[in-house]
Chains A and B, each alone.
Chain A
Amino acid sequence: MDAEAAATQLQDPDGFNMKRLVTWVCSIGIWFLPLIWVDPTTYMVLTVAGVAFGMLLFMVASGMTVIFGLMDILNLAHGALFALGAYTGGYWVLNLLEKWGWVEYGTVMQSIWSLVLAILTGAAAGALLGIIIERVIIRGVYGDHLKQIMITMGVLYVMTEVTKIFWGANPEVVLVPMTFQGSYDIFDVIVGKFRIAAIVIGVLMFAGIQVVLLKTKIGLIVRAGVENREAVQTSGYNINRIFTGVFTAGGALAGIGGTMWCVFQQQVYPDIGLENIIFAMIVVVIGGLGSVTGSFLGALVVGLSFNYVAFLLPKLALGVNILIMVVVLIIRPWGLMGEKQGD
């Protein structure tokens, strides 16, 4: 790998780079490969579904990647925040609103409002649990990676059991608001309505995270705090409060992801947290640890390839995520957008 990096450096960065061009053509071209086996209409259906699935995966992974990128904490308790968001936002709020007739047979506005309320509740629940976890548990183990992973795994374990205390151990049905049920038929390409909502919300979330981090003063302070803790503290900012804020934001993102995910799957169950932490981790590893753009790309890669493979070779669908992760780790051990670093 070192020789390769040296070779890239030697070349003129603005000049014609054959290697980079080939890489780009290959990485875009590979997504048209399924066209050999399926007809274009089916391909379009699969692609739209794959992009929507990728967006949902991005929502699952975004909170984790923000917390990892900014605070250097591998937060496995992310799964607990996610599950709490799913249970409060997706299950509890939508069932509550259903009593007023807003969800399953509501008007367009009522449907949209019920989804928005569900997402907000999920985000609030995730943020609240995020604050508690950061203040009580993570604070004691800053800087110790092994302990962080172990202790957050413990939190995930306990929260899974607590979920079972409150909502029972069995899967529960999650209602889908009226407007998001069914699908559109655009030139024989069938597109689920909720998938479109998922794509829109996913892109909005991505844009929102990027704007906050890159364009606002808070984002500037947070990024500076990651680079140099002491310098930011000397400038008069309370770094502990800022890191609590980052963790809270990560929790809120996890809550949103949980709400959207369980409405998409139309069910929620206690192990949803563990299941999705693994999805999130695969996406984060593929994208490069801590890179938001990377995990956006990683989520798309996983979502698309999962859909294609599940259609072409249903038996392989289970292992395709791990396969992609291994392939990416062979080619680029530091992920798609991650920074190369020794440790």
Chain B
Amino acid sequence: MGHDLNPVQQQRLVEQKTRFSRPSFLVQVALVLLLLMVPFNPSFRVMDAAAKIMLFTVVVASYDLILGYTGLLSFAHAMFFGIGAYSVALICYHSGTPQWYHLFLATGASLILSVFLALVLAFFSLRTKAIFFAMLSLALADFFHLLGITWSDLTLGEDGVTFNLPGIFNMNWAGVRFLDIHFSARMMIYYFILLVSVILFLCLVRFVRSPVGRVLKSIRDNEQRSTALGYKTFRYQLLSIVFGSSLASLGGILYAMWLGFVDPDSALGVFSMVDYLLMVIIGGLGTLYGSIIGVAFFITTQAWLPDLLKGIAALLPPSEIIARIAERWMAFLGLLFIVAIMVFPKGVVGTIRERLSIRKGAGRVKRT
């Protein structure tokens, strides 16, 4: 067995055999179990942070697919996220009493729109230089942000949309008692997010380990060589952009379901791209698991940094400028982003992997 297999197939065979006994698998199982237990914690803040970590992991991991695995810098990821969020919010809001099929309708609509926009974006920008992709996506994202603000007949403008969800996700749902535990609608949404984001994340992992994912990496590292080997690089890049963007819009749907509220700045704002970039960089570019660490770090910082800064400001002598600086906690995240790019470009997972591969010696084929 294995005598007529190429090295990649042999490696995959080894991987399949040891799939359930590796420490990383156990860590994943432990993580999922931990997330299952979170709703029993009485603090809503913790549950909110956990839900956001899960859904943003999907968004950031799909961004990592485009940036880290394909090497394209997109500023439109927040736009795709916002399209997903807004499609659920608007369909549920304008339908009055939302039904189950409205959710499917919203999912379908957002997927069609994101695939279409991703194709348009890629066709117009990838023809010339990769830098055009960044510029065109930024312009398109800003256009959608403005559209969300100004088209107030549909999107209710800057006030945002507050909406209800159907069935067991509706906040007025009485809940159910099972094994002496009261399951509320909020918990149902939480478990739904857990289920969907785990599935989507595994899809992403599968995608980057598939032959297509390997070709994408080779295009990122050396486009000319991949072309010379006979790969149609444009098609692969297109596939990656479309897949990543669709996942972002699915993440947006989860986000809208969790908050029950969507507004242009939080869902479509161009500056949220800096947040995504920070999460990807902190975790490590081109390492899907890094996005979990990046998101967890970012969400916890975002949740507790304002309090921390106010606490520090209270210790210092009272002055207006200190109070104002303490108010602008986002500036500190931005500074962290700049510093991270300059001194910590590989991220947490990237650095760990580098250390490990040095220890194991350079002879072994690097696994990602």
A→B interface (CB under 8 Å):
74, 137, 140-141, 145-147, 149-151, 153-155, 157-158, 160-162, 164-165, 274-275, 277-278, 281-282, 284-285, 289, 318-319, 321-322, 325-326, 329-330, 333-334, 341, 343
Q: How far is the CB of A145 from chain B (nearest CB, A)?
A: 6
Cross-chain contact A333 with B128 (CB below 8 angstroms): yes
| Complex contacts, B327 vs chain A, CB 8 Å | 165
| Complex contacts, B150 vs chain A, CB 8 Å | 318
Q: A140 CA to B338 CA in the complex, in Å?
A: 11
Cross-chain contact A319 with B134 (CB below 8 angstroms): no
| Complex contacts, B91 vs chain A, CB 8 Å | none
| CB proximity to A under 8 Å, residues B121-153 | 124-125, 127-132, 134-136, 138-140, 142-143, 146-147, 150
Q: Which of B98-106, B188-196, B240-248, B268-276 forms contacts with chain A?
A: B268-276
Which single member of B67, B270, B337 contacts A154 (CB below 8 Å)?
B337
With an 8 A cutoff between CB atoms, is B277 at the interface? yes
Cross-chain contact A329 with B331 (CB below 8 angstroms): no
Which single member of A145, A329, A333 contacts B131 (CB below 8 Å)?
A145
Known A158-B331, A158-B338, A165-B331; contact A149-B146, beta-carbon cutoff 8 A: no
Q: How far is the CB of B120 from chain A (nearest CB, A)?
A: 8
Which single member of B130, B328, B341 contacts A150 (CB below 8 Å)?
B341
Q: How far is the CB of A46 from chain B (nearest CB, A)?
A: 22
With an 8 A cutoff between CB atoms, is B181 at the interface? no
Q: How far is the CB of B155 from chain A (nearest CB, A)?
A: 13
Which single member of A154, A160, A289 contacts B341 (CB below 8 Å)?
A154
Which of B127, B135, B150, B273 has the most CB atoms of chain A within a 10 A radius of its CB? B135
| Complex contacts, A278 vs chain B, CB 8 Å | 138-139, 142
Cross-chain contact A321 with B139 (CB below 8 angstroms): yes
| Complex contacts, A141 vs chain B, CB 8 Å | 341-342
With an 8 A cutoff between CB atoms, is B211 at the interface? no
Number of interface residues of B (CB under 8 A): 43
Cross-chain contact B128 with A325 (CB below 8 angstroms): no
A/B interface sample: 7 pairs, CB < 8 A: A150-B277, A154-B334, A165-B327, A322-B139, A325-B139, A329-B132, A333-B128
Cross-chain contact B146 with A151 (CB below 8 angstroms): no
Cross-chain contact B139 with A282 (CB below 8 angstroms): yes
Which single member of B140, B325, B341 contacts A151 (CB below 8 Å)?
B341
Cross-chain contact B127 with A333 (CB below 8 angstroms): yes
Identify 11 new A-B residue pairs, CB closer than 8 A, beyond the known A158-B331, A329-B128.
Answer: A74-B135, A149-B131, A153-B274, A154-B334, A155-B338, A277-B138, A285-B136, A318-B143, A325-B139, A329-B125, A334-B128
With an 8 A cutoff between CB atoms, is B324 at the interface? yes
Cross-chain contact A157 with B130 (CB below 8 angstroms): no
Cross-chain contact B341 with A147 (CB below 8 angstroms): yes
| Complex contacts, B157 vs chain A, CB 8 Å | none
Q: How far is the CB of B76 from chain A (nearest CB, A)?
A: 12
Q: How far is the CB of B275 from chain A (nearest CB, A)?
A: 9
With an 8 A cutoff between CB atoms, is B306 at the interface? no
